[in-house]
Amino acid sequence: MEGANINFQPRNVVLILFLVTSYTNLIYALEKTHVEFIQTSCSLTTYPTLCFNSLSTQASAIQTSPKLLAQTALSLTLNTTLTTSLSIFKMSKVHGMAPREVAAMKDCIELLSDSVHELQKSLEEMSRPGSKVSGLVMSDIQTWVSSAMTHEDTCSEGFTDDSKMKSVVKGKVTNVARLTSNALALINSYASLIE
Ligand SMILES: *[C@@H]1O[C@H](CO)[C@@H](O)[C@H](O)[C@H]1NC(C)=O
């Protein structure tokens, strides 16, 4: 074992410790900057706590990019809308529900499917290669995302009677509508930077 001649002199150990500590501090500082960026950006949305809790786990991917932040918020909203729609679909198959309830759920699923379509189009446009999205495309995206939000609001207003399912469905759809509202706010912030 002649090749391994690492020299464990105190001087070298101190140097290695110094480098490891500096590196660790740098990583922490970067992570802190990324998390603070999300916090500051989320403070401008209508539901800042939901915004921060849902996006801070992606801080290392978002870094300090307003575009990636808006894109991630959009992707999260799309995913949540899809899972919510699926869960309402499953609930609508439960036996013993009033026909009016089933009808309201079906309407809701259709409205959410429109939202999914609009969110998907928006995410596709935002994810195209290139560092910037044109102002014209951003304006389309703003229209689609606010239309998605309108559909979600219409869904939660569809449950008129005080049924058991109403509060469950409303809770789920309200969460989706809030995520959409936050995504729209982050999209608007990004759009204001590129104009
Ligand atoms: C949404 O789902 C897709 C596909 O499963 C996944 O690649 C993406 O990371 C998800 N987005 C977020 C923000 O979690």
CATH of the domain at 169: 1.20.140.40
The amino acid sitting at 83 is T
Q: At 87, give phi and psi (nearest 5°).
A: -70, -35
Per-residue pLDDT of the chain (195 residues; tens, 9 = 90+): 455 566 778 888 888 888 988 888 888 888 888 999 999 999 999 999 999 999 999 999 999 999 999 999 999 999 999 999 999 999 888 877 888 888 888 999 999 999 999 999 999 999 988 777 888 899 999 999 999 999 999 988 877 666 677 788 889 999 999 999 999 999 999 999 986
Regarding the beta carbon of 79 and ligand 1, being less than 6 Å apart is answered yes
Regarding the beta carbon of 76 and ligand 1, being less than 6 Å apart is answered yes
Regarding the beta carbon of 72 and ligand 1, being less than 6 Å apart is answered yes
Is residue 189 situated within a structural domain?
A: yes
- What is the whole-number distance in angstroms between the Cα of residue 78 and the centre of ligand 1? 9
CA-to-CA distance for 132 and 147, rounded, in angstroms?
23
- What is the whole-number distance in angstroms between the Cα of residue 80 and the centre of ligand 1? 10
Is residue 173 situated within a structural domain?
A: yes
pTM for this entry: 0.86
Q: Whose CA is nearest to atom 13 of ligand 1?
A: 76
pLDDT at 28: 80
Is residue 179 situated within a structural domain?
A: yes
Number of domains in the chain: 1
- What is the whole-number distance in angstroms between the Cα of residue 152 and the centre of ligand 1? 21
Q: Which atom of ligand 1 is nearest to the CA of 76?
A: 13
Q: Which domain holds residue 128?
A: 64-194
Is residue 113 situated within a structural domain?
A: yes
Alpha helices in the chain (DSSP H): 10-42, 48-55, 59-62, 66-92, 99-126, 135-157, 164-194
- What is the whole-number distance in angstroms between the Cα of residue 25 and the centre of ligand 1? 30
Is residue 166 situated within a structural domain?
A: yes
CB neighbours of 125 closer than 8 A, spacing ≥ 6?
A: 133, 137, 140, 141
- What is the whole-number distance in angstroms between the Cα of residue 84 and the centre of ligand 1? 15
pLDDT at 4: 59
Q: Which residue out of 56, 60, 74, 75 has the highest number of ligand 1 atoms within 8 Å of its CB and is therefore the one to mutate?
A: 75
